[in-house]
Amino acid sequence: MANANANATGNVHGPTRRTTLLDRTHAFCAALLSSSSSPSPPAPADLVGAYFSSSDRHAVAPPAPRITEHGPSWASERLPFLGKTFSGPESCIEYFEVLGRVLDMQLPADAFPPKEGFIVDAEAGMVSVVGRGRFVSKKTGKGWDEEFVYRFSEYDDEGKFGHWEIWADPLSAWEAVGE
């Protein structure tokens, strides 16, 4: 008979796989939040190093880590972070840098729900969450409020994710950035 205390990875002691994925993903989202003591998130290299997997678990897949902000590729002239996948640690750092040159991301303390609001599928190795924030074009000063969806997948054994996908509001970003 299997030990009732064994978790999804077969360990008798320690957190379950679900808890590990949830805790690491929640910590990453918290690191993105704006606050009076820290108006911007940690440096991109620090975020990538702390939360993104560097292992390439799937030899046929692009190298980990990866960031994909979904949207129309035609928008990349104004929004160069949109509609493509940034693959590898240096490219993921580039994603944050490109995004930061175009938009100011303002995520309040309640941008993400408490842990209970994150959707965790430990068997599939995916975590999803809906967030909200304000984004402002650095070029025009125009801003908008939006809700967005993050999906994290391809976790390593430490709970670091290999792929972060973002679905946001590209039309509002397109309009705010202008020509």
Which structure tokens are listed for 124? 């599939």
Residue 5: band (very low, low, confident or very high) from pLDDT cuts 50, 70, 90: very low
Model confidence over 84-138: pLDDT tens digits?
999 999 999 999 999 999 999 999 999 999 999 999 999 999 999 999 999 999 9
pLDDT at 28: 96
CB-CB contact of 120 with 22 (8 Å): yes
pLDDT at 3 over 50: no
Other C-beta atoms lying within 10 Å of the C-beta of residue 31: 14
N residues, the chain: 179
Residue 11: band (very low, low, confident or very high) from pLDDT cuts 50, 70, 90: very low
Beta strands in 16-125 (DSSP E): 66-70, 84-87, 103-106, 119-121
Kindly list the distances between the CA atom of residue 17 and the CA atoms of 5, 32, 95, 143, 159, in Å, as whole numbers in the listed order: 13, 23, 28, 39, 8
On whether the 17-177 domain is CATH 3.10.450.50, my answer is: yes
What integer is the mean pLDDT of 2-30? 72
Other C-beta atoms lying within 10 Å of the C-beta of residue 110: 10
What integer is the mean pLDDT of 35-58? 78
3-state secondary structure of 152: strand
Model confidence over 159-178: pLDDT tens digits?
999 999 999 999 999 999 98
Q: Please state the domain extents for the chain.
A: 17-177
CB-CB contact of 77 with 83 (8 Å): no
More confident residue, 71 or 60: 71
Other C-beta atoms lying within 10 Å of the C-beta of residue 153: 17
Phi first, then psi: give them for residue 99, nearest 5 degrees: -55, -45
Model confidence over 31-45: pLDDT tens digits?
999 665 666 678 999
How many Cα atoms sit within 13 Å of 45 on the Cβ side?
A: 1
The mean pLDDT value of the chain amounts to 87
